[in-house]
Amino acid sequence: MRAHRSNIVAQHDSEYGHSVGSGAIDLPLAIAAMRINPESPIPLYEQICSALRNAVVAGDLPPGTSIPTSRELAIAMRVGRNTVVTAYSRLVAEGYLVSNRRRGTQVAKELLGARVFASDMEQAGDSGGQRSVSIGKIEISFRAQHALREPFASNSPGGPFALHAPDPSLFPRNQLGRLLTEEFGRSQAGDGAQAVRRFQAALAAYLRLKRGVCCEPSQIIPVTCIESALDLTARVMIDPGHCVLIEDPALPVARQAFAAAGARVLALPGDASGADPARVSAPPSRLIFVSPSVSFPIGRQMAQDRRLALLEFAQRSGSMIFEADTSWELSYQNERLRALQGSDRCGQVIYFGSMNETLGPYIRASYLVVPPDLVEPFSETARRIGYGPDTFVLAAVARYIEDSQYAVHVRAIRALYGQRMIAFVQALRTHLRKATALEPAGGLHITLLLPDRLDEIAVCRVAAGHGFAVAPLSSFYQTNAQTSGVVLGFGLLPERNIDAIVRRFADLIASPSGNRQTPELERQIA
């Protein structure tokens, strides 16, 4: 058996040359894949130099990477040690490697010869005679190009006024962290189905009590965020050519998700009472996207009569409704209307909720409540693509809800955010007297309507240059925005700092030196 194995190794070496064996030495992948040909007229040390040089230039051996000792590499490649020493010495002289008695041999952090050698490789090829072939610019799909052209507001940068950014100091690290640790260490039987069922049961009871959502636990589909919920809904419900109505303004991700699925996305206009189906002149729609609890970015609550009219319109046109109820737990109004899903008697509402504002985006616990007829396709599609959070997270959140700790936590942070919202609106009205701050029904954002002739893009540009994450109001409209404005988040602002931060923001955009194209800023705003 040993003789037979030796014959195979000898045959491999004669055909392909020596390669680095696995052995007991933990070699970098680029070195382990090196091959030399004893039959080549090129000296062995030069072959080793070329292979290491190519790996360094290509980035397979990053700067600072430790290189095997000459003895280790000689054993692994079955060559004499002096051959490796010669190769290392040459690469040190060329500036690719550095040698230190204490640290050994490493890839140089400043590659002096890499740029020259890379240029030579492009012109003459490597020592093996292989040349790189350019295939030209690689084009991505038209659908991806269209999606990437639109701003991705759900991933806005951090800093003052950042959108979709709750305060990390308010996350329940101690209570929920303990549950997460326990569930992570607990051995889950099977595929975690028990944890999913427990989450579904706890959440179904909580939603019925707090939002009037009527559902069986099996109707709850765990997802991570609104992006995954929209993508899942589009996969199950939308075919190319379907018409989708989206309230205007709205989150850009809603338009992006359904447009990417090939839908014809149309604006659903509204007024102070919310999206108005009576103003729709489009063909029958497959799906209607609305945010009745807290619209984005205006922050208004849809009136009850408008909700009933929307349900009647959906029933008459055979449309499904996607109810985005992301900020209902941070509602600051005394009157909290029942969820649209709770008034649905025809099974035409797909309800979305999220705990990312209350528990933090790192938990990534959101959910869909789908009609009974859609449970199987939604569940199976979500399972195949892996939309849901980790099962230990679901188990921990379920326990947090069952022990009533979640309800207590929500009440506490709602009060804190409500105080911040009041202080924020007051500061905006004090320091930006000619602008109009719209007090929201809930959520962590405020829309500021700017005076006439004031360029919202210029305001955002000046603010961004000083670290303020400000979004233009027009970016949330599918049609032309009726007025100029900006959208500001206040989740990251401690109440004690709000007045100073808003004053700084007002000074920036009112300073003629901050924006030379609009020298009248100071006169218009201050």
Task: Give the model's pLDDT for residue 453.
Answer: 67
Closest C-alpha among 391, 437, 273, 288 to residue 349: 288
Task: Establish whether the linkage from the previous residue to 297 is cis, with ω within 30° of 0.
Answer: yes
Cβ–Cβ < 8 Å for 339, 302: no
Cβ–Cβ < 8 Å for 12, 53: no
- Choosing among 3.40.50.300, 3.90.79.10, 1.10.10.10, 1.10.1060.10, the CATH entry for 12-124 is 1.10.10.10
- Report pTM: 0.75
Residue ranges, the chain, pLDDT below 50: 1-16, 22, 113-132, 153-156, 512-526
Task: Give the model's pLDDT for residue 81.
Answer: 93
Query: In what order do the strands lie in the sheet containing 349-354?
Result: 220-223, 366-369, 349-354, 320-324, 287-290, 243-247, 264-268
Q: What are the contacts of 499-508 at 24+ separation with CB within 8 A?
A: 499/423, 499/427, 499/430, 499/431, 501/160, 502/424, 502/427, 502/428, 502/430, 502/431, 502/432, 503/427, 503/431, 505/160, 505/161, 505/431, 505/463, 505/468, 506/431, 506/432, 508/462, 508/463, 508/466, 508/468
Task: Give the model's pLDDT for residue 337.
Answer: 87
Burial of 112 (0-12, 13-18, 19+ CB in 10 A): exposed
CB count, 10 Å around CB of 201?
17
Q: In whole angstroms, how far apart are CA 291 and each of 52, 229, 261, 394, 426? A: 58, 14, 21, 25, 26
CA distance linking residue 321 with residue 279, whole number of Å: 17
pLDDT digits (tens, 9 = 90+) for 226-284: 999 999 999 999 999 999 999 999 999 999 999 999 999 999 998 988 999 989 887 88
Task: Establish whether the linkage from the previous residue to 43 is cis, with ω within 30° of 0.
Answer: no
The residue type found at 82 is N
CATH number for the region 168-403 comes to 3.40.640.10
345-364 burial: b if 16+ Cβ within 10 Å, else e: eeebbbbbbbbbbbbbbebb
pLDDT digits (tens, 9 = 90+) for 333-367: 877 789 999 999 999 999 999 999 999 888 889 99
Task: Give the model's pLDDT for residue 245.
Answer: 96
Q: What six digits make up the tokens of 430?
A: 């004090």
CB count, 10 Å around CB of 414?
16
Q: Which fold has domain 408-525?
A: Aspartate Aminotransferase, domain 1 (3.90.1150)
CA distance linking residue 378 with residue 235, whole number of Å: 9
Residue 498 is inside which H or E element, if any?
helix 498-510
The stretches of 265-386 forming alpha helices (DSSP H) are 304-317, 356-359, 375-385
Residues ≥6 apart with Cβ < 8 Å to 339: 207, 211, 212, 213, 292, 293, 323, 325, 328, 351
Radius of gyration of the chain from Cα atoms?
A: 31
Q: What six digits make up the tokens of 249?
A: 């303004």
Cβ–Cβ < 8 Å for 247, 375: no
For the chain, domain boundaries: 12-124, 168-403, 408-525
